[in-house]
A and B are shown apart, each in its own frame.
Chain A
Amino acid sequence: MRIDDAALIEESWRRPDAFAALYDRYFGDVYRYVAGRVGTQVADDLAAETFVVAYGKRATFDPGRGVVRAWLFGIATNLVAQHRRSETRRLEALRRAPAEDDTDGGHEDRVAARLLAAGSRGRLAAELRRLPDHDRDVLLLVALADLNYEEVAQALDIPSGTVGSRLNRVRRKLRAALGGADPAIGGTDE
């Protein structure tokens, strides 16, 4: 019974309201991604803006080229790019005081966060901050938004091969930051 995302966009040309169904479907996803990057205060605005912008440029959505969800994340990523300073400030704060007073995250996040030693957190935040913007975009679309290669490629409008190489490069750096060749996290204790 579920109406396809692309069909909703199509329908929205006749009946603009149909677009609101996409909001109901994806606002949570987009919000969590954006808030993870720029913090909740900016995210309140940006996540909402994502859908207004998406509605305005829905003519640019090409169902032949991918899925609505990835397209929305692409728009959200562009908006985040206009708030790089918020992201940088947040990463800097996380580097200095690794999320002692992180009231943003849900309970599960806090539990997960405790598993990470404070030292690794600081190093990880520093590494994230140092990443080139386009590398960080790829990484966080995977880590926070759970997009796959094809979807990241669609969101950022780059070839999927590029996604793969960027991601591998970034992950090597992260693993190094988290404990060199012997990653101390992730349950691969050996």
Chain B
Amino acid sequence: MSDLNGRPFPGLPHDRGDLDAVRALLGSPEPSLDTVVDGRARLLAALAGDAADAGSLADVGSLPDSGFLTDAGPFADAGPFADADAEAEAGDAVPAEPREDPIPLRGAHDPATREPGRLRTTGRMRRRLATVGAGLAAAATILMAAVLAAPGGPVTSMGPGTPVSTAQDTPGASSTPSANTRKAREVLLATADAAAKQPAGEGAYWRTKRVTWWQTPTGDRAYVLELSLSEEMWLARRPGDKSRRISRFLGAKPATANDEAAWRKAGSPSSWNLLPPGEKVTDVVAAKPGEPVVSELRGKWKGSGGDLAKELLSWDDLAAIPDDVDGLRAYLTRLVGKGKGPADDPDRARNLLGEAVVQIVEGLPVTPRVRASAFRLLATMPGVRAEGEVTDRLGRTGQAIVYRSDGRVKERIVVDPRTGRTLAKETTTVDTTGGPEVRLHHQTAYEQIGWTDERPAQATGRE
């Protein structure tokens, strides 16, 4: 911590004790993943606005043509997902499996899908993700941010003066919903009905278990890796009980067959540095899975039943969430409006609202009525679109519903209309920060959600 990285420090006493004491007193906490993701979204929003401006300048020839500012560029028009959108809009029938699924769900060729157990082989490393405060966690987090990119953040491609010819998903842009939007609404309403019929349940803990797969380029950007993590949250209902998080790194591997070929060419390494070569720090991820890490949830997590729109809610807060559609909409609109940023940006407001609704249906401890209303609210949102039946990474079948698709980000959930459950959430982002455009896929599968009287494992380590 007190290492000065060899920088010259003329005139300073060698003893840094006082400076270390200051640092020890004030701490130097790592940002949370949400913070990193949010901050990045905010910056990208500023950049995007500027790119649109620059684009119009380029049209009159006052800027050199970099290729970026042309219509083919990432900020142009409807963005990289335009094709998929247009295709989905054009077709009347909902394909069972979209032709070129922008979020490819792994098929039988993927060993991870075929043998989910394989990922759970015991390993020793628990280097990343599970450990916070290692100093490098921030770097890891930031790389994840590139993948998760901006839930709720305005990464819109639509700038002022940009043609809106294909902006079919823009709220208010058109009158009649497309067949895919109508289908999405049917699916969501059926899911809502099923959700409303679920028993409310009760227990000592609200337990959610999920597995996340995400992609990130290697530090030298030679190919893309896929990492996975399982996470259990045990949120104690009673003040005397301790809430815990159990996480386990499930390993890393080249993301696709192409990536695997590139990996072989690179000598089949079993670990990777995720930071660019030449950085003074490294952030190494191993192929090997790690051990489960149990940690006690402290601070603001004490007495909380989960987070919504970046806020941790108490059990009382959760119980006070309105369970009718209009009330819920008003409540969530107020909640997401609390954040800073360009409040007058309708895309941003819509995205934040959509994200909050999805947070409710993906695992917040609310009543079946609230969850049903959240599905119904989602059904009213402009731009929702059905993408037909899909199979998630845990092999479960459900209906894919896109709820966000703009310049850089596409997000959808997979729901089961028979049970009213949300099976998975999938995000695809376009990352251009390292040069060439890379499309990164991210998926979270919700394995288990509900009340339990079981107890979580004791915390590991000396915490």
Partner pick for B135 among A24, A47, A108, CB 8 A cutoff:
A108
* B22 contact set on A, CB distance < 8 A: 124, 128, 139-140, 143-144, 174
B339 to chain A, nearest CB (A): 9
B391 to chain A, nearest CB (A): 33
Residues 256 to 279 of chain B near chain A (Cβ within 8 Å): 276-279
A186 CB-CB contact with B under 8 Å: yes
- Is the CB–CB distance between A186 and B18 below 8 Å? yes
* A139 contact set on B, CB distance < 8 A: 19, 22
Query: In the bound complex, what is the Cα–Cα distance between A142 and B69 (angstroms)?
Result: 41
- Is the CB–CB distance between B4 and A148 below 8 Å? yes
- Is the CB–CB distance between A174 and B18 below 8 Å? yes
Given A55-B47, A144-B22, A23 and B39 touching (CB < 8 A)? yes
* A132 contact set on B, CB distance < 8 A: none
* A32 contact set on B, CB distance < 8 A: 28-31, 138
Taken residue by residue from 3 to 46, chain B's Cβ proximity to chain A (1 for < 8 Å, 0 otherwise) reads as 01101111111011111111111111111100110111011101
B240 to chain A, nearest CB (A): 18
For B50, give the chain A residue with the smallest CB separation. A16
* A62 contact set on B, CB distance < 8 A: none
Partner pick for A105 among B19, B36, B133, CB 8 A cutoff:
B133
Q: How many residues of chain A are within 8 Å of chain B by beta carbon?
A: 75
- Is the CB–CB distance between A168 and B25 below 8 Å? no
- Is the CB–CB distance between B28 and A144 below 8 Å? yes
Partner pick for A109 among B8, B29, B40, B51, CB 8 A cutoff:
B29
- Is the CB–CB distance between A21 and B277 below 8 Å? no
- Is the CB–CB distance between A14 and B27 below 8 Å? no
Given A20-B433, A55-B46, A40 and B29 touching (CB < 8 A)? yes
- Is the CB–CB distance between B68 and A15 below 8 Å? yes
* B432 contact set on A, CB distance < 8 A: 17
A66 CB-CB contact with B under 8 Å: no
- Which stretch of B101-109, B140-148, B367-375 is in the interface? B140-148
B92 CB-CB contact with A under 8 Å: no
B398 CB-CB contact with A under 8 Å: no
Query: In the bound complex, what is the Cα–Cα distance between A167 and B12 (angstroms)?
Result: 9
- Is the CB–CB distance between B29 and A149 below 8 Å? no
- Is the CB–CB distance between A35 and B27 below 8 Å? yes
- Is the CB–CB distance between B54 and A148 below 8 Å? no
* A156 contact set on B, CB distance < 8 A: none
A31 CB-CB contact with B under 8 Å: yes
- Is the CB–CB distance between B31 and A109 below 8 Å? no
B134 CB-CB contact with A under 8 Å: yes
Taken residue by residue from 275 to 297, chain B's Cβ proximity to chain A (1 for < 8 Å, 0 otherwise) reads as 01111000000000000000000
- Is the CB–CB distance between B43 and A109 below 8 Å? no
Taken residue by residue from 10 to 49, chain A's Cβ proximity to chain B (1 for < 8 Å, 0 otherwise) reads as 0010111111110111011101110111001001110111
Partner pick for A113 among B24, B50, B68, CB 8 A cutoff:
B24
Given A21-B434, A186-B21, A105 and B29 touching (CB < 8 A)? yes
Residues 76 to 107 of chain A near chain B (Cβ within 8 Å): 94, 98-99, 101-107
* B16 contact set on A, CB distance < 8 A: 186
Query: In the bound complex, what is the Cα–Cα distance between A166 and B69 (angstroms)?
Result: 48
A119 CB-CB contact with B under 8 Å: no
The CB with the most chain B CB atoms within 10 A, among A102, A125, A139, is that of A102
- Is the CB–CB distance between B17 and A185 below 8 Å? yes
Partner pick for A102 among B27, B39, B51, B131, CB 8 A cutoff:
B27
B176 CB-CB contact with A under 8 Å: no
Q: What secondary structure prevails in chain A residues at the interface with B?
A: helix
Given A2-B279, A178-B21, A28 and B138 touching (CB < 8 A)? yes
Query: In the bound complex, what is the Cα–Cα distance between A55 and B10 (angstroms)?
Result: 32
- Is the CB–CB distance between A14 and B19 below 8 Å? no
Query: In the bound complex, what is the Cα–Cα distance between A148 and B7 (angstroms)?
Result: 7
Partner pick for A36 among B27, B35, B276, B299, CB 8 A cutoff:
B27
- Is the CB–CB distance between B35 and A1 below 8 Å? no
B99 CB-CB contact with A under 8 Å: no
Partner pick for A183 among B11, B17, B26, B32, CB 8 A cutoff:
B17
A64 CB-CB contact with B under 8 Å: no
Query: In the bound complex, what is the Cα–Cα distance between A96 and B453 (angstroms)?
Result: 40
Query: In the bound complex, what is the Cα–Cα distance between A21 and B276 (angstroms)?
Result: 11
Given A112-B1, A183-B17, A185-B17, A35 and B46 touching (CB < 8 A)? no
Query: In the bound complex, what is the Cα–Cα distance between A142 and B26 (angstroms)?
Result: 13
B132 CB-CB contact with A under 8 Å: yes
* B27 contact set on A, CB distance < 8 A: 35-36, 99, 102, 104-106, 109, 113
- Is the CB–CB distance between A31 and B35 below 8 Å? yes
Q: List 18 additional contacts besides A43-B35, A146-B7; criterion CB under 8 Å.
A: A1-B276, A2-B278, A16-B47, A16-B51, A19-B43, A31-B29, A31-B36, A32-B138, A47-B35, A48-B35, A94-B26, A113-B25, A116-B25, A143-B26, A168-B11, A171-B19, A175-B18, A183-B15
B residues with CB within 8 A of A = 1, 4-5, 7-13, 15-32, 35-36, 38-40, 42-44, 46-48, 50-51, 54, 63-64, 66, 68-69, 74, 131-135, 137-139, 141-143, 145-146, 220, 276-279, 298-300, 340, 432-434, 463
30 A-B residue pairings within 8 Å (CB atoms): A1-B278, A14-B63, A16-B48, A16-B50, A16-B51, A17-B74, A18-B433, A23-B40, A23-B43, A24-B40, A24-B143, A25-B279, A28-B141, A31-B29, A44-B31, A44-B32, A44-B38, A49-B42, A55-B43, A55-B46, A94-B25, A104-B299, A105-B28, A106-B135, A109-B24, A113-B25, A115-B24, A116-B21, A183-B18, A185-B20
Report the 6 A-B pairs with minimum CB-CB distance, sorted nearest first: A186-B17, A106-B133, A28-B138, A48-B39, A105-B27, A103-B299
